[in-house]
Structure 1
Amino acid sequence: MDQRKVVLIGLLFSFWGALGQQTSPSLVDIGKRFLGKPYRANTLSVGNPEQLNTSKESFDCVTFLENCLAIRNAKGVDSLYSKALKHVRYAGDSVQYENRFHYFSDAMIALDYPQILDESHVSVLPKDFTFLSSYLRSKKLPAINIELLEYREKILAKRPFQFTAVGNIAHLLPRIQSGDLVAFVTKNPHLDFLHTGMLVREGNSIHLLHASQDKKQVVLSSQNLGEYLKSHPKFIGICVFRPIFNE
């Protein structure tokens, strides 16, 4: 058997074995198993033919979340893991560059994860979601169907982009649960987010579990969410999404 598959099987079953076969570990439990794993940008292909990357050795901020969600959905069953990963990474579960969720907003909509908001403190920002198609047109890569990417971008652009501004984060904190996903909003009108992670509640304090470009590894931030945002002024707000699992 391929050594990478042996490692994957061991990893999947270790989550369940540690807590008992009848108990599913939480998303946070799964994420913490990756603490210390190195951060690596551009872990997925830059064009077709797209390959399903199932590596557990390094992550960017999105692939960290994708793998946590896939392991949770696979429930420790190795044969279900690849299918689960395709589901959280690709539209229609089809491994193709154009079908990948290049915008985190696209993934959250397709997965039907509800956005957590305080209705009295919602901000709206116009987003045209043209970042990727514009970038790729300048590269002139013939293997990529840019028209299909533009079609997906236009669908996203039709939806109102709602978020919680930095100044209103305190109103959202009581609604946050451990395991909620967070995406950090950019003011760039062509792009939705600059970073993603998982939120962990420790009493009344909310912390960020993420593949950190600054720390070069998966970390649980010692700063609370408010402190983290103050130290990263390029983020103008957040969107919080709650994963739903079929038990």
Structure 2
Amino acid sequence: MIMKLSILILLLTAASLSLTAGAQEPGCQLVLNNALTYLGKPYVAHTLEINDEEQLVVNLEEVDCTTFVEYVLAQSLATVRGGAMEDYLKRIRYRDGRIDGYTSRLHYIAEWVESGVQNGFIEDITAMNSTDTVPLKLSFMSTHPNAYRHLKDSPENVKKIKDIEKKLSVRFFHYLPKEKISDEGLPWIKDGDILCITTQIAGLDVVHLGFACYRDGQLKLLHASSSSKQVVLSEGSFAQMFRHNKNWTGVRVLRMIQ
């Protein structure tokens, strides 16, 4: 009887642990392990802008928040599905996996997510777990052309970007508002999930990317930090980061599909 009771307690404990925040899903640990190998690598902006003509850039030694996520996702997909990392990267980064000038790159995260879902690379976990939505109102790139090397002297590219913004802006997306993000995280946010931070900056949808990483009972952000100038794991919790970034409004959560 005592032995049966002990076994029952062990089973109940295991079941309880499987429901806690950060409990693993297939593929999540692989993504997190790949992301952790980038710790300490320098943050460098505009690494994709080095060529006059658009071409696939693979620079695993210098990353920004978006390229960091793209490289880790491409490497993880290549590991679980087979094939070349570069082939996945092209399909992650470019519309229909085709490089056709600067505007063929998926600049807005809303379209980046939509493409990833259509390709079967990722799933939108937020849409399954949060009823909160935001309408897309994209205009930042076309209204700030001087901030982009390939827009400031190219009215043609600005027009193409504006057309893309208009097409995307009839849609909406699910997100988790910052008020609902706790220090401990949430059971449906797993280690290795992609965290896309939404913003109230006019004309933008997402302002920063990283990976979920649970440590010391807290949900933290593993990301390429422009302020720290390298890939870091946040010192405080992910929730605490919102208190220091007033333009952050919440998060979209994505997960790689094996």
The TM-score with structure 2 as length reference comes to 0.76
Q: Is the 8 A contact 1:47 1:143 kept in 2?
A: no
Q: Distance in 2 between matches of 1:172 and 1:227?
A: 11
Aligned twin of 2:143:
134
The amino acid that maps onto 1:73 is L
Aligned twin of 1:186:
199
Q: Which moved more, 1:190-199 or 1:43-52?
A: 43-52
Q: Distance in 1 between matches of 2:136 and 2:81?
A: 39
Aligned twin of 2:8:
none
The offset of 1:162, in angstroms, is 2.7
Q: Is the 8 A contact 2:28 2:190 kept in 1?
A: no
Relative contact order, higher structure (CA 8 A, sep 6+): 2
- Judged with a 3 Å threshold, the aligned counterparts in structure 2 of structure 1 residues 140 and 117 are, in CA distance, closer, same or farther, namely closer
- Judged with a 3 Å threshold, the aligned counterparts in structure 2 of structure 1 residues 207 and 118 are, in CA distance, closer, same or farther, namely same
Q: Distance in 2 between matches of 1:137 and 1:42?
A: 14
> What whole-Å deviation, never above 9, does each CA across 1:139-197 have from its counterpart, x for those lacking one?
54238533332232223211113321111123972210111111111112310111110
The answer on 1:81 being equivalent to 2:93 is no
Q: Distance in 2 between matches of 1:239 and 1:24?
A: 16
- SS of alignment partner, residue 242 of structure 1: strand
The offset of 1:78, in angstroms, is 10
The amino acid that maps onto 1:234 is N
Aligned twin of 1:235:
248
The TM-score with structure 1 as length reference comes to 0.79
RMSD over equivalenced CA pairs, Å:
2.9
Q: Is the 8 A contact 1:39 1:212 kept in 2?
A: yes
The answer on 1:168 being equivalent to 2:180 is yes
The answer on 1:49 being equivalent to 2:53 is yes
Q: Is the 8 A contact 2:28 2:193 kept in 1?
A: no
The answer on 1:103 being equivalent to 2:108 is yes
Percent identical pairs in the alignment equals: 29
- SS of alignment partner, residue 257 of structure 2: coil
The offset of 1:47, in angstroms, is 7.6
* Structure 1 unaligned spans of 5+: 1-22
The offset of 1:243, in angstroms, is 1.8
The offset of 1:199, in angstroms, is 0.6
> What whole-Å deviation, never above 9, does each CA across 1:66-102 have from its counterpart, x for those lacking one?
0001111222999712111101111111123111110
> What whole-Å deviation, never above 9, does each CA across 1:115-141 have from its counterpart, x for those lacking one?
223878543333321111222389542
Q: Is the 8 A contact 1:122 1:165 kept in 2?
A: no
- SS of alignment partner, residue 135 of structure 2: coil
Q: 2:125 aligns with which of 101, 104, 116?
A: 116
Aligned twin of 1:26:
30
Q: Distance in 1 between matches of 2:185 and 2:130?
A: 8
State the structure with more CA Rg: 2
Number of equivalent positions: 223
